Amino acid sequence: MTEDAAKVRKLLRQQAAIATFGSYALRESDLLKVLTEAARVCAEGLEVPFSKVCRYRAGENDLLIEAGYGWQQGVVGHVVSRADVSSPQGRAFATGEPSICNDLRSDNNFVLPPFYAAHGIVSTIDVIIKGGDRPYGVLEIDSDRQHDYDQHDIDFLTGFANVLSEAVATSARTATLQATIERMKGLVEEKDRLLDQKKILAEELQHRVRNNLQLVYGMLSKQLDDTVDKTGQRGIKAIARRVSTLAQVYDHLLGNEMTRTTDFGSYVRSLCANLAELQGAPGGVTMSCDSEPLILDLDVVTALGIVVAEVVTNSYDHAFPNGKGAIVVSVHRLAGDVDMATMTISDNGDGFKPKLGSRRHGLGLVRRLVQQVRGTAMVDSDDGTVWTIKVPVPHDVALTGANL
């Protein structure tokens, strides 16, 4: 095999390694496993015996070896280096540029931890792992033989560090969202406990639930400010919208007597007005809501409220490229069957476009929420888009609503 052919084969192998690792990082939620796998793949990709990922610790202003490959016991998770130019990884972290040492034996500018000598480390490459407001840390490969690393080696390691940067950001977003979900579960449990108590607890419930929802919304808003990629922003905005919708459910409930049911008709009219206001449309897109009184269980109201918010927001975002159109929400009982209710959400904008698929983003949640309340959802996009959602109404609740 010629030298050029060998280089091409090496490059192809490295590119395949980055692609395979990227797929793995998207599937794996455990960040430590992702970092450990990254160290292994980097070492194998550059044909060296050692590799490590160092995490910056602001309080100590150092770089802790968070994950690694090939090291003796006691290195990973324990050894640190100064986050300045006195170490190879510190220099990469401080300057933001790759740090290349072909032969550490001839470089007297570094103060190296003892494990370098213990492992016979001779050459290293360090590249920075980017983060949000500051870098996450450094990715380093180490060899016990002298190497003359070329630009392709640096590009491979830099590309890998960029994938790691996104994996770290995703892990942070996932942790924030998981904490939000757990807090919301706690809010639901708190709501159920307080709803079983006497009316005197209404003021306490109102105060605690609203404050906690405001805290959750604040967490999401801060995470949105720290998130630069558009995919992450869309996901956080969607969750923030659902938290806001949930808050409106509680506001509607707490404005009335303490019960496990509420008038969905009145609530959805208020929700639609709020959604129209949030969109800030000056009049190019109009929105109307026609709903008769309909008493539903609070859990059903919550689910259907999120459905309305998801579909209406999706219409605002994608249905009207020319900025003009109409959205209509309608809720009524099925003729001759008071035990079933129908909700339609329609717009006269662009329908679903299979080739683009953009308007389908996130709408799988609509079907799942409707299924959770034992309903059905159908969508027609022949002329604009029309969602038809049918949900059962318990007989005794339906009669109560019919007498309003």
3-state helix, strand, coil in the chain (%, to 5): 50, 20, 25
Residue 148 has φ and ψ, to the nearest 5°, of -110, 90
pTM here is 0.46
With 70 as the cut, is the pLDDT of residue 209 above it? no
Domain with CATH 3.30.450.40 in the chain: 3-166
C-alpha span between 283 and 257 (Å, rounded)? 36
pLDDT digits (tens, 9 = 90+) for 91-117: 899 898 998 888 888 777 788 888 888
pLDDT digits (tens, 9 = 90+) for 288-321: 999 998 888 878 888 898 899 889 888 888 888 8
Given this model, what pLDDT does residue 53 score?
Answer: 93
pLDDT digits (tens, 9 = 90+) for 326-367: 999 999 987 766 688 999 999 998 876 544 444 444 567 788
Region 141-165 average pLDDT = 85
C-alpha span between 336 and 304 (Å, rounded)? 23
CATH architecture, range 261-404? 2-Layer Sandwich (3.30)
SS3 102: coil
Domain with CATH 3.30.565.10 in the chain: 261-404
Helix H or strand E segment including 72: none
Max Cα distance, the chain (Å) = 91
Alpha helices, H only, 133-279? 151-195, 202-226, 230-254, 264-279
Q: Which letter does DSSP use for residue 359 in this model? A: G
pLDDT band at 253 (very low <50, low <70, confident <90, very high): low
Tallying the residues shown for the chain, one arrives at: 404
Amino acid at 201: L
CATH architecture, range 3-166? 2-Layer Sandwich (3.30)
